[in-house]
Amino acid sequence: MTTTTTPRPTPHAHTAGSGVSFAHVLRSEWIKLRSLRSTAWCFAVIVVLLIGFALLFGAFASGFEGAPATDEQQQSLAVSVATIGVPFAQLVAAVLGALVITGEYGTGMVRSTFAAVPRRTPALVAKVLLIGVTTFVVSALALAVALLVSTPLLSSSGVDTDLADGRIWLSMLGGAATIGFIAMIAFGLGAIIRNGAGAIASAIGIVFVLPIIFSIGQALIAKPWIYSLYEFIPPQAATRVYDYPVDGQSLTALPGLDGSLVLEPWQALLVLVGWVVVLFAIALALVKRRDV
């Protein structure tokens, strides 16, 4: 009499992709991110814009009519000069964030990514975290250099910058954070649209075109509610994050209207987080439902 036995599964038997840890996914996505030429070029452009604009405006500081009267006003001016390139860097970050995901759809590499990570969520989380963190780090270093190189230029014009002031460094970190958040917002749009041109156009529309539309609306309507609504679009919220206001007056953010809402930096930061979370949640839901 013969009997058949069913082979017992070995401890190493896994379903496809179930043994892939998040650390491995993160490392894989990091290799892909730093291997892209667009990543290096975009980061280089961000650095050049942030430092270059600070140098340019710092060099023309001699054209200011007299130095600001108080120490806080001088600090505010120093922040404005050091962060003058942030909106332009945000445009580049928007392009990079969109390309990171749409490039994979364009080349078909996303099929390999999702074959290795069938659940898809870890891959998308790793991508968005990496693009946000790396953009923040590069921008923070560039803004620190921008502040340091613009300080002596401002000093020669009678504007003394106190680098021991914690608020001024918080503004630099805030400016870097906004560039990272814009990249993450663009990533979410790219994952939703899946087309490079469409995602880039949408991201640039949010960063560049939307403020223009609101500015026209404010000129035509001039009601507190439209000024309050303006505070919740990413570019204006970003400005509030790294702003250095003095007595409620800002050198970087557009003035509001009596009765309109003005966000505090931490509130503006939460607005940017909200944009990232909502767009990423929509993207994740669509990526799980769609065929590659």
Q: Which domain holds residue 196?
A: 22-60+71-289
Please indicate, yes or no, if residue 1 is contained in any of the structural domains. no
Distance CA 204, CA 195 (A): 14
Helix runs in 36-120, H state only: 37-59, 71-82, 86-107, 109-116
Distance CA 195, CA 102 (A): 6
Please indicate, yes or no, if residue 146 is contained in any of the structural domains. yes
Please indicate, yes or no, if residue 6 is contained in any of the structural domains. no
pLDDT at 67: 55
Please indicate, yes or no, if residue 5 is contained in any of the structural domains. no
Q: Evaluate if residue 98 carries a pLDDT over 70.
A: yes
Please indicate, yes or no, if residue 282 is contained in any of the structural domains. yes
pLDDT at 10: 44
Give SS3 for 115: helix
Band of pLDDT at residue 193, cut at 50, 70 and 90: very high
Q: Which of 13-27, 70-84, 87-101, 174-188 has the lowest mean pLDDT?
A: 13-27
Query: Does the model's pTM come out above 0.75?
Result: yes
DSSP string, 14-39: --TTTT--HHHHHHHHHHHHHH-HHH
Please indicate, yes or no, if residue 208 is contained in any of the structural domains. yes
Please indicate, yes or no, if residue 249 is contained in any of the structural domains. yes
Please indicate, yes or no, if residue 205 is contained in any of the structural domains. yes
Distance CA 193, CA 199 (A): 6
Q: Which residue has the higher pLDDT, 141 or 224?
A: 141
Q: What is the CA radius of gyration of the chain?
A: 23
Percentage of the chain exceeding pLDDT 90: 57
Residue-wise pLDDT for 229-239, tens only, equals 999 999 999 99
Residue-wise pLDDT for 196-220, tens only, equals 899 999 999 999 899 899 889 888 8
**Which residue matches tokens 């003394």?**
160
Give SS3 for 87: helix
Tally the domains of the chain: 1
Residue-wise pLDDT for 50-65, tens only, equals 999 999 988 886 555 5
